Structure 1
């Protein structure tokens, strides 16, 4: 039975998401001008052969500049590096998606320090995979209030298979399809949230802290609305 489950997950990872349509954006990280960086402390950010390499000693967010309008799927591959470096902590493969200011504006128009608390005032979806030194994976729906990061009990996970594996490329897929909000990792759906008041447009931000990450194959796809 275990082998059957693994085969199923492998098949999901290899199969495009049902209802996926036109590719809207793709980035191989050759043009850093497509991203805006906010770093709490100076970070080392390099690109080579289509891979974005981030070594961040503190809070770090890279915003993709184009606004995304749902329904969309956001996909990329990421790797938590463990090779003996000072920041090779294997932690915090995090992201914001469909992010907007509480008043409706763009987060790019209101630069932040990179400190995690500075983002409380956004309305956004957020996942921290492998947070807290790779002990937790959590989903939150931010509501735009300082000091308020709501999280339902069922959205606080700690199972080993939902954390990060050092030096392995992880396929991430974010879904914003009207009320259907999802986070997938290597073909496995970690979070499914039915939002009666969904965030249907906004910005994507790659987020981490005290870690060394590599990212590649960033793409955004149009989704056919649920039921079509």
Structure 2
């Protein structure tokens, strides 16, 4: 997590809460491999909290660190992940003006899909049902059962870590399930 004074990550009422002024990644400390599905509920809260802002319902998956830095040693600043191998979706990034899918490969992070309009941007206080599927070299990202991105990777990332990512917002996450396919 960025070293910002008004940031915290905690659990409350069975939910993971990321209430941060700066960037944060909460990693699952279990490496995933092969074919799997990740699903969870996530809400970007807009109310009276000091960090409430509609932006950055993001995630990393199939993440690995080809450097000597160490997988979980990064600062929380977004740029500190640039040299990793991973898939990334930034849902409602850039002050809720973009939704992008990327594959990071040691400094290269091309945009593989992008939306700039309505149904692909965030709504306040909506419980999104997020599903990520990795199967036989194809990755899919769905929101409320709507396919946002699908990519048949010619050089798939077949193992790695999953992380919830955000910056400057308050988000609640619940009902995480990971299923081997």
CA deviation vs aligned residue, 1:98-142 (integer Å, no higher than 9, x gap): 00012599613xx00100010011100000001111111000000
Output the CA distance in 2 between the equivalents of 1:47 and 1:139: 28
Query: Secondary structure at 1:60's aligned position in 2?
Result: strand
2:139 is matched with: 181
List 4+ stretches of structure 1 deviating above 2 A: 38-42, 102-106
Gaps of 5+ in 2: none
Partner Cα distance (1:100, 1:40) in 2? 23
Which residue of structure 2 aligns with residue 205 of structure 1? 163
Aligned match of 2:87? 125
Structure 2: distance between partners of 1:160 and 1:121? 32
Matched residue of 2:123: which SS? coil
Counterpart in 1 of 2:59?
95
In structure 1, the partner of 2:39 is 75
Distance 2:15 2:163 in 1: 17
Q: Residue 149 of structure 1 corresponds to which residue in structure 2? A: 109
Structure 1 segments unaligned to the other structure (5+ residues): 1-37, 224-228
Question: Match for residue 4 of structure 2?
Answer: 41
Please report the TM-score for the alignment, with normalisation by the length of structure 2: 0.94
More helix by share: 1
2:77 aligns with 115
Give the 3-state SS of the residue equivalent to 1:210 in structure 2.
Answer: strand
Return the structure number with greater strand share: 2
Alpha-carbon spacing, 1:164–1:124, altered in 2? closer, same or farther (3 Å): same
Q: How far off its partner does 1:39 sit? A: 3.3
After superposition, the CA RMSD in angstroms is 1.6
Query: Using the alignment, how far apart are the partners of 2:69 and 2:131 within structure 1?
Result: 25
Q: 1:97 to 1:106 in 2, by over 3 A?
A: farther
